[in-house]
Structure formats: C-alpha cells, structure tokens
Structure 1
Amino acid sequence: MLKLDNLTVSYGSIKALKGINIQVREGEIVALLGANGAGKTTTLKSLSGIVPIEKGSIDFFGKDIANLAPEKITSLGIVQSPEGRQIFPDITVEENLRIGAFTIKSRKQIAKNFERVYKYFPILLERKKQLAGTLSGGEQQMLAIARALMVSPKVLLLDEPSLGLAPLIVKAIFEIVKEINSEGTTVLIIEQNALQTLKIADYGYVLEVGEVSMEGKASELIQDKRLLEAYLGG
C-alpha cells in the first residue's frame, strides 16, 4: 500500500533520514518508534509533502508520490494529525472539523464523516459550539485526530498523539485508534511511548539518528530486550 524506499532527507548539511526503508500494509497499524531527533517527524513530513525528499521514493498504491504538493497527497488519502495538535483555537470545534473536510465535495459524505467522528469522540459533539482553544489537552488531541478523519483518509498519520497527556487519556486515545483501524483505516503512528504503541500495532520500526535500527512484528518487538532497555527503561 505505502512503501518508502531509500528515503533520504537533509536539512542543510545534516542528514535527517539516511536511506530508510519502511512498508505500511493495508489495514495495519504500523508503529515508528524512537527518541527525539531520530527522524520520526521528518518521515511523516516527507510523506505529507511538507519537507522535500533528497533521494528515494514513496510508493502509494503503485504511484510515486515523492515531492508531490501536500494538498495532492491529502487528496490521495494520506492525512496527518500533527504533533502538538495544531488546531485552530479561535473557532469552534465544529468549524475545525468542517475545515478538515475541505477536500470532500459531497455533503452526504461530510455528514457521514461528522457522524463517524462524533461516534469515536462523543465529547466533541457535546463541545461542538465551544471554541477549540478552551478544550482540555486531551480533548484538543481528540479534535486533531477527528479533523484528520474528516478527510476520509486511507492512511492516517499520527504524530505523537500521547504527548503531554495523562495516562488515562492516553489509554482512551489508543483504544480509539485501534477502533479506527478495525473499521478500515490504515494507521502509521509515531511515538516515544513505545509500550502503549506496540500493544496496538501490528508491525514496528525503530529509528535511530535517521536509520532503521530494528523492525519486526509488534508482538515480537515488545519482547525484545534491546528495545526494553533502550525505550522502556529495562
């Protein structure tokens, strides 16, 4: 479905990604793990067309989408929920969601997408007329994910959805991500919270300074001593 082949990205003289190879199979949750500065966010930004690719290819259903404009990538069905939520604080929850559906022309589909996201996140239905900036951190994260889902994505890219949230909220969000996936949306999730992520993922990759250092089935990675020591505190 989605294949990154020899993907190389540089910021000036600094190589952020050094020829990584990653595959996301349709219907799976794939985890991309690693410490700060490992290249996780750069990978997602490359997929979204936000940062230019120096070398390599991104194959999506047989088409190379490397360096396509972000809006074209979104219209193909690759949609990102960015790190730090990046919602629009001065407009309502409902207006944020409607902006998310900007590529959808069918009113019927937009209504269906509203129904879907309110099913996943009923608190957003309660808060739909509230200014987004007045939501709690967890609610803002839910809104960021819901806004991405309004585009009817084939692949949902999640950038650090647990960042800065209380453990109970993190648990709830991961359960919803699992539900979203079970209903047909492929997910690529990048996280520092390796344990929680591997519990819901099918496959995982570990990035270290721009290179894939480990990969495998999530059920196997979660048992790996090296991973436990490096990312789960032993």
Structure 2
Amino acid sequence: MAQIALNIENLEVSYGNIKALKGINIVVPEGKIIALLGANGAGKTTTLKAISGVVKINVGNIKFFNRDITNKDAEKITSLGVIQSPEGRQVFPDLTVEENLKIGAFTVKNKNDIDKNFKRVYKYFPRLAERKKQIAGTLSGGEQQMLAIARALMASPKILLLDEPSLGLAPLIVQDIFEIVKEINEEGTTVLIIEQNALQTLKIADYAYVLEVGEINIEGRADELIKDKKLVEAYLGGH
C-alpha cells in the first residue's frame, strides 16, 4: 500500500466573510498524480495556498506524511519538500534561466544533489539547457512554464504542486508539458495538479476531485471520470 503523502481533512478557508473552501477532503497517495479540477474561482488556488502555508486555515487540518503542517510557516513547509510551481509562471524575468534554477535549489544544501537536479531538469527540458544563459523574460510562454516547473524540481520536491501549468499555452505545448509531468511522476515524484484543462489532466492523473464554489462535488478515478461525457461538459468545459 502506498503511503499517504498529503491528507487534507475538512478544510475551510475564508477571505473576510466569504468562505472560499467549505470543508473539503483530499487524499494524495505517494507516487500518484492527483488532479483538482474546476472553473475559475472554484477554490483551487486557495487549496494550494493553504497547503503551502500562504493563507490561514480556519477549520480542518493538513498532514504531510502524517506530520501536521496546518498553518505552519511557508518556509518550514517548503523545507519539508512541499514545492509549488505557481500560476502565471512567476519566473524572475531579469535573471538567466540558470540563475532562476539556482534560486529554486536554495533549500538544497548538498552540492552533489544540486548538480543531480540540474542534470535531471535539463533531461526533462532540453530546451532550457540550450537557453541556460538566456534572460528568462525573453523566453516564450511555453519555455517560461517549463522553467517554472524546472525551478520547482530543483528543490527536490517530495510533492510537486502545479498550479494551472497549461494556462495561456498553445495546445501542442500543453501536450508536451503534460507528457513531462507524467514522466516526472513515473520517476517517483508525487504530483497534485490544479487545472481548468480537464481532458488533458484526466489523461495523466490517477484520481481527480472536481471543486465547485469551495466544495468537492465529484471525485473518482481519472479513467472513469474521463468517460463521463455529461460530467466533462457540465463541470469541466471540455468536449
């Protein structure tokens, strides 16, 4: 039996009087890809921020490999191996590709591990290796997204949190990114992916949760959910 990497129980988060999350439960087994799907404003990014310690949790708890990380300091959570690749890429535009990657490795103390991580990310993203001296702000949108994921991988994540990796990208680039996410997972990294692009995500995920206005409406094995045409059209805007 796989260990549970991340266990979210009865999670509630509010912004002032507005309840963004209304008691959600999510389980992420080690070594799997778990998807959190839903439209804009459903509460997906809030969920990731709660896991990462960026927003305050009102009710419920989050355990990472059985260790309570509820409302812990964001820096502490990162040092445990919970690493996020944020929505909108957020690369450092004035630094080179290589400098961006080095920043990603700031929590990794062992130089050999950093070298290994460089080799690993350049294997996944050969285009970044070709452009390592290039200023990140001059990369295409797809390359910046690759850089954001690669920078997160430089921190040796035990779980990789991906926030909308397909946002604003051409379909072919999206396909590439998802294939690489699958490969990263097959080599042992647990992934929690937040997406609006349901169809592509369900193709690579093991299990998925559908979030609607702060509540989980549907959950199930990804290979089952993808067959449910009504579900895909009603909740996930795909055909």
**Would you call these one fold, judging by a TM-score over 0.5?**
yes
Match of 2:139 in 1: 135
Match of 1:16 in 2: 20
> Is the contact between residue 16 and residue 209 of structure 1 (CA under 8 Å) also seen in structure 2?
yes
> Is the contact between residue 195 and residue 232 of structure 1 (CA under 8 Å) also seen in structure 2?
no
CA deviations 1:165-221 (Å, max 9, x no partner) are: 000000000000000000000000000000000000000000000000000000011
Cα deviation, residue 228, structure 1: 1.9
Match of 2:163 in 1: 159
Match of 1:170 in 2: 174
Cα deviation, residue 233, structure 1: 4.2
RMSD, aligned CA? 0.8
Matched, 1:6 2:19: no
How far apart, in 2, do the equivalents of 1:57 and 1:224 lie? 32
Q: Report percent identity of matched pairs.
A: 76
Q: Which runs of 4+ in 1 moved over 4 A?
A: none
- Name the CA shift for 1:110/1:233 in 2 (closer, same or farther; >3 Å): closer
Contiguous gaps of at least 5 residues in structure 1: none
What code does the residue aligned with 1:30 have? Answer: I
Contiguous gaps of at least 5 residues in structure 2: none
Match of 1:117 in 2: 121
The TM-score normalised by the length of structure 2 is: 0.97
The count of aligned residue pairs is 234
How far apart, in 1, do the equivalents of 2:125 and 2:93 lie? 18
- Name the CA shift for 1:49/1:140 in 2 (closer, same or farther; >3 Å): same
How far apart, in 2, do the equivalents of 1:228 and 1:55 lie? 31
Match of 2:38 in 1: 34
How far apart, in 2, do the equivalents of 1:80 and 1:50 lie? 11
Cα deviation, residue 145, structure 1: 0.1
What code does the residue aligned with 1:228 have? Answer: V
> Is the contact between residue 198 and residue 232 of structure 2 (CA under 8 Å) also seen in structure 1?
no
Match of 2:68 in 1: 64
3-state secondary structure, aligned to 2:89: coil
